[in-house]
Structures are given as C-alpha cells and as structure tokens.
Amino acid sequence: MNPNKVDRTHVIQLTDLPNIGKAGAEDLRLLGIREPNQLAGKCPFEMFELLCETTGLRHDPCVIDVFLSILRFMQGEAPRPWWDFSKERKATLAKDAPLTLW
C-alpha cells in the first residue's frame, strides 16, 4: 500500500502495510508470514536471504528496503516510502561486507 494511504488502526492483512502490494505479500507468505503481527522480531537482512534461498533467485536488494520499511512501521514508526531506507541498507551491507581485492 502507498505509505500515504496506510491507516495504522486498520492493519489486518499484509497488503495493509506500507509498500506492500500483491507481489510483496506473496514474498512474505513464502517466508511463512501471513499476518502483519508475525513480523515482530524479524531481521530484514535475514528475511531477504531466506527469500532468495526459498525462491532460488537473487532478488533486488531494494527488497531489503521494503522489509526495513514494514518492520519499522510495525515497531511504531510512521509509514515511509521504501526508498527512504536505501541509504541505511547500503551502509549496513558495506559495513558487513568482506573486503574484496581486485
């Protein structure tokens, strides 16, 4: 759902979450998440890796941004567009990535 249209008092199904449409909801279901409250305690980076393993595909890293957006929303933050989290994702991945020598 568009973050500007999210109503925190009406978050019942996955598509009620900010930045989650039909495809995003299906990704969450592949991870065993059927309801928004099942996101509690999840790690967006682990969710992404599990999604890639489950589907056998390497998904776009922006999916991590979407996962960050919904997890933060469920922790009480205001709904925000997924791209607001891109800088955080890139910084975290850069910090955790091993040094590559060319």
The number of folded domains in the chain is 1
* Residue 73 domain boundaries: 3-87
Whether 92 is in a domain gets the answer no
In this model, does residue 71 exceed pLDDT 60?
A: yes
Asked if residue 96 is part of any domain, the answer here is: no
For residue 14, what is the domain's CATH number?
Answer: 1.10.150
Residues 16-49 have pLDDT tens digits of 999 999 999 999 999 999 999 999 999 999 999 9
Evaluate whether residue 54 is within a structural domain: yes
Q: What is the mean pLDDT of residues 48-68?
A: 97
CA distances from 23 to 63, 72, 79, 93 (A): 11, 20, 19, 24
Per the CB < 8 A criterion, the answer to whether 42 and 71 are in contact is: yes
| Residue 95 confidence (pLDDT) | 86
Residue 100: inside a domain = no
Residue 20 covered by a domain: yes
Please determine, for residue 50, whether its predicted confidence score (pLDDT) is greater than 50.
Answer: yes
Q: Which pLDDT does position 102 carry in this prediction?
A: 44
